[in-house]
Amino acid sequence: SNDKVAGCHVVTQQQQQQQQLLSACDEIAEDATSDSAAVAAEQTGEAVTSKPNPVLLGVGRRQVKRKAVLRHPGSFCNFSFVHSASCFAPEIKRGSRRGSREQKMDRLSSTAILPEAFQGARDDITEQLGVVWQQIKAPVIVPLLRLSVLLCLAMSVMLFVEKVYMAVVIVLVKLFRRRPETRYKWEPMGDDAELGNAAYPMVLVQIPMYNEKEVYQLSIGAACGLSWPSDRIIIQVLDDSTDPAIKELVQIECRRWASKGVNIKYEIRDNRNGYKAGALKEGMKHSYVKQCDYVAVFDADFQPEPDFLWRTIPFLVHNPQIGLVQGRWKFGNAFLPLADTPSSSSPSSLCFVLVLPAHLLCFTPRLRSSEMVPLHQSPCLRRILDFLTSLCYACIAVNSNECLMTRMQEMSLDYHFTVEQEVGSSTYAFFGFNGTAGVWRIAALNEAGGWKDRTTVEDMDLAVRASLKGWKFIFLGDLKVKSELPSTLKAYRYQQHRWSCGPANLFRKMAMDIARNKNVTLWTKVHVIYSFFFVRKIVAHIVTFIFYCVVIPATVLVPEVEVPNWGLVYIPSTITLLNAVGTPRSLHLLVFWILFENVMSLHRTKATLIGLLEAGRVNEWVVTEKLGDVMKTKVAAKAARKPRIRIGDRLHLLELFTGAYLFFCGCYDLSFGKNHYYLYLFLQAITFFVVGFGYVGTFVPQP
């Protein structure tokens, strides 16, 4: 019975709606008839009658009945009844009657045309979104955002404490001159009248490479030029190149050095299993390696100085507990001299150039001596400049001045070597092997299990396993090996992905092994797990992006959540200044470095999460692209011609989307905010856009 009553009620509503439509049509037809009569009266001069035209009224009713058919209760009526009725009205002057007709149309209830389910469609979409936002904001958004702020502040404090700790340690190391030569026995290797060259240990030098057409001659030449008894050194070139032409070039270079009496071996594989780790592991299997005591590793773009072995091997010979001696990457020897000849590179010249604004902008590669000689020849000024150089000396990369991106890399890597590696070596005799410019004791390498390709950081993997066996490491900050920085954005992004994903994945694999190890002290375990892995390799990447590029902009949209000034200003400012101390010559680029590091933290955070979750591109290995001098000359030669640029090669969607988010938050803060966050948000958004459109680094046009 209830269903019947409900059905009758629905039918009654439909009849009422249809009746309202018919009444409205009658009124419209009546107005149209009156308008027609008024026009005719004006033409003939007769009086105007208000009697409706029955014919027109009947036609209007029939039109409405045909058009306004309600198929079912949820459907809506066709609006063509308006046109059907109005087509009978002749064209008249716009006047009061048309206004009255429109008012009558407006009096039609919306329920007569649309059912209640469709009433919300007439509301503004922004108002609906605003209502939804207000409904979920207080119970969901605000608590989640406050929790995110607390977590980010906690991670910021952890990173701050770690940075301050390392700063204190490095100051004490420099203050008390705790150099490796004072902590470990070091004596120069001397000739033995009885043994002759047999008194020198046998050294293996490994050079892994993969399609290194631009730099293979530099690395092979530098390795063959190492000053060590020729019968006590073996140069091993591990060529995994897939290009037959490049293989032939590398083999010809090896033959050329072999003809000069150098003991050089050219080794290839049938596959690239394990990438660099697989090549190094395969190289250690050759029979001639068994006679070697130590192995030095240099990547294809590294050029060691001739005295490299003389400065590293004595530490290993006289200290049997040492398993690794690591040198520092020197980003070149381009000292930008004052004189007109490229051979003038005195420390005073370097320091003088460093303080010149023209050099700070990297617009002038060299200054004419005729402009500066009077000041430069002053003995007093020379002593002052030499003193300043000793305070702010920094190695300038082979290509650190190539573009702004290489300058940013130099700032980050200088801190890594001058602080992080030095602190690890001075306190716990542990740090991560950098994969090149180091000498391993083969016994330590074998005891640790050799090279493994389970992660993309085989060098760090080996270092951690060797340290758990009780081996100690030494870092020599004054032993510099020239290298090349990636100058293209694509190469740098791939490199940072590998350097961020690998440590996170290694932490996942080895955290429990480190905790259960009994060969090292508790403090060493805490240092490796907490400081080395968790804070530096995971927290540092995540907090940089999540806090400064996601959470802080989100607080602009949710003013109920506030970030304290100590977490917003003081802690990041201190961390930034401590990071910048390693490269004094680039202090004027500090703001650009901060913005650029925030952009790169996007990829580092993504790679870190991939490594922790062991998903996606966790084991992706892409060899860092190296341009070398030959390729840079070709690129410069092509600059005169308009390069062929593909839009897809330049656009980076992640950066563009993040930049759009920051720009929106900045506009919102500018309009409604009170904290002036937009000053930072706009700068950061512009940086994301610049990187997103590919206007960073050296762009190599496609052939």
Active-site residue list: 240, 459
DSSP for 161-192, please give it: HHHHHHHHHHHHHHHTT--HHHHS-------B
Q: Which amino acid is at 377?
A: Q
Instruction: List C-alpha distances in Å: 292 to 235, 442, 443, 507.
Output: 12, 8, 10, 32
C-beta separation of 223 from 205 below 8 A: yes
Reference 583, options 313, 315, 397; nearest CA is 397
Q: Which of 182, 15, 201, 155 is nearest to 572 (CA)?
A: 155
Class of residue 362 by CB neighbours under 10 A (exposed 0-12, middle 13-18, buried 19+)? middle
Residue 184 contacts residue 315 (beta carbons within 8 Å): yes
Q: Is 106 helix (H, G, I), strand (E, B) or coil?
A: helix
Around 620, how many Cα atoms within 13 Å sit in the side-chain half-sphere? 17
DSSP-derived letter for residue 697 is B
Identify whether the C-beta of residue 36 lies closer than 8 Å to the C-beta of residue 28.
no
Asked if residues 484 and 406 have their Cβ atoms less than 8 Å apart, the reply is: no
Separation of CA 592 from chain center: 14
For residue 73, what are its two tokens? Answer: 């209760």
Could you give the CA distance from residue 68 to residue 66 in angstroms, rounded to a whole number? Answer: 6
Query: Six-digit token pair at 512?
Result: 């429990």
Closest CA to 399 of 387, 413, 386, 409: 409
How many Å apart are CA 489 and CA 226, to the nearest integer? 33
Calpha distance 313→295 (Å, rounded): 10
Side chain identity at 138, as an amino acid letter?
A
Q: Is 83 helix (H, G, I), strand (E, B) or coil?
A: helix
Work out the angle at residue 346's Cα, subtended by the Cα atoms of residues 340 and 347, and round it to the nearest 5 degrees: 135
Cβ atoms of residues 142 and 558 within 8 Å = yes
3-class SS at 629? helix
Looking at residue 100, its amino acid is S
Q: Which residue has the tokens 């992006």?
A: 545
Q: Which two tokens stand for residue 665?
A: 């938050």
Contact in structure between 519 and 470 (CB atoms under 8 Å):
yes
Distance CA 450, CA 90 (A): 97
Instruction: Report yes or no: 207 and 237 within 8 Å, Cβ to Cβ.
Output: yes
- In degrees, rounded to 5, the angle at the alpha carbon of residue 286 between the alpha carbons of residues 280 and 291 is 105
- DSSP lists the bridge partners of residue 235 as 205, 264
Please state the separation of Cα 74 from the chain's center in Å: 53
End-to-end CA distance of the chain: 82
Q: What are phi and psi of 21, to 5 degrees?
A: -65, -45
Angle at which helices 489-516 and 590-613 pack, to 10 degrees?
50
**DSSP class of 199:** G
User: Measured between alpha carbons, how far is residue 169 from residues 162, 425, 433 in Å?
Assistant: 11, 11, 20
Pairing mode of beta strands 438-441, 294-297: antiparallel
